[in-house]
Amino acid sequence: MNDQKTLPDFAIELRDLKKTYGAKGKVEEKKALRGVDLKIPRGSIFGLLGPNGAGKSTMINIISGLVNKTSGQVNVWGYDLDKKPREVAAALGVVPQEINMDPFFTPRESMELMAGFYGVPEKERHSDEILEALGLGDKKDAYVRQLSGGMKRRLMVAKAMVHTPPILILDEPTAGVDVELRRQLWEYVKELNAQGTTIVLTTHYLEEAQEMCDQIAIINHGEVIACEETDTLLARLDQKKLIVHPEQSISSLPEELNDLDIEVRNDDALVVTFRANETRVMDLLNRIREAGIRIRDLATEEADLEDVFVSMTSESN
């Protein structure tokens, strides 16, 4: 590993990364990645979001050496994947989506075997410590086949950490995991990050990414369509919705409200979309009242990461 003086600013750097499946120019040709440029800061919790088939897993598989890229450059922990594949592999701990392990091994045996694969000397192994941290200490001598799905998922995280890699990639790590196990997993991930481990996370739980990630990239159709700090990304949709329920049904909107971004829902509610830093709710209510609409009830809604995600992916289609 690089010493402290030469630690890279970015844990992972991708430059013009492309992946095409199928014969070039043929009908079945599929462009999974279309020139991805991405920099993942060292020490961050980085979220990678996108719809199914967007290219997230292809990207991760290329980084981890499971899939060959068509073109472009991949640097992991300062190492060029083409020139230093062994060093790249040593810098990564990867937890794939699919649970894949020998059911006739115990968790501790699985850990020791994986540590042996990575050449970790016996005196430097921390199998029991890692299993304990992930809530598997009391199951270390049980057969893997006896573990629940959530426990198997956590064991996969444990196995990825046997060689103490500086980068941990979690590909949909909480799929099928109950709320309590998910909470324990994220506590451990946060502890790892606090100790300096860079975390790369793909997830379909948008609220999870919003809570966990320092920075988020959104990928769609093999292209990165946004890559920003989480707060900045949310601020890009600095939108609120004012939902007004009038006392009587409205057949058509008064002309004096035509300049507003307003629509009438099927339940007769008026929905006004506005930017909170430009418009006050009270001003909107006054205009609605002045247009002769009597208000029975009202509510406001703020944009969250799901709104940003839906907005950006629909714009890129």
Could you identify the residue written with the tokens 């600013």? 9
C-alpha distances (whole Å) from 234 to each of 2, 212, 230, 301, 304 are: 35, 14, 6, 14, 7
Class of domain 237-315: alpha beta
CA distance 284 to 290: 10
**Which residues, at least 6 apart from 201, have a Cβ–Cβ distance to it below 8 Å?**
45, 46, 47, 48, 170, 173, 208, 209, 212, 213
**How many CB atoms neighbour CB 5 within 10 A?**
5
Sheet holding 239-246, edge to edge: 261-264, 270-275, 239-246, 295-302
Quote the pLDDT of residue 317: 63
Q: Token pair for residue 134? A: 């992930």
CA distance 172 to 56: 11
Quote the pLDDT of residue 237: 64
Spell out the per-residue pLDDT of the chain, length 317, in tens: 444 448 999 999 999 999 999 866 666 778 999 999 999 999 999 999 988 888 999 999 999 999 999 999 999 999 999 999 999 999 999 998 888 888 899 999 999 999 999 999 999 999 999 999 888 999 999 999 999 888 888 899 999 999 999 999 999 887 767 777 788 888 889 999 999 999 999 987 777 888 899 999 999 899 999 999 998 887 776 778 899 999 998 888 999 999 999 999 988 899 999 888 889 999 999 999 999 999 999 998 877 777 777 777 776 66
Q: What kind and span of H or E run contains 184?
A: helix 179-194
Quote the pLDDT of residue 271: 94
**Ranges of each domain in the chain:** 4-234, 237-315
Q: At what angle do helices 149-160 and 179-194 cross, to 10 degrees?
A: 10
What is the second-level CATH architecture of the domain 4-234?
Answer: 3-Layer(aba) Sandwich (3.40)
Q: Give ∠ CA 231-234-239 in degrees, rounded to 5.
A: 135
Question: What number of residues does the chain have?
Answer: 317
State pTM to two decimals.
Answer: 0.79
Q: Residue 67 carries which DSSP code?
A: S
Which of 212, 229, 234, 205 shows the shortest CA–CA distance to 312?
A: 234
What's the gap between Cα 50 and its chain centre?
Answer: 8
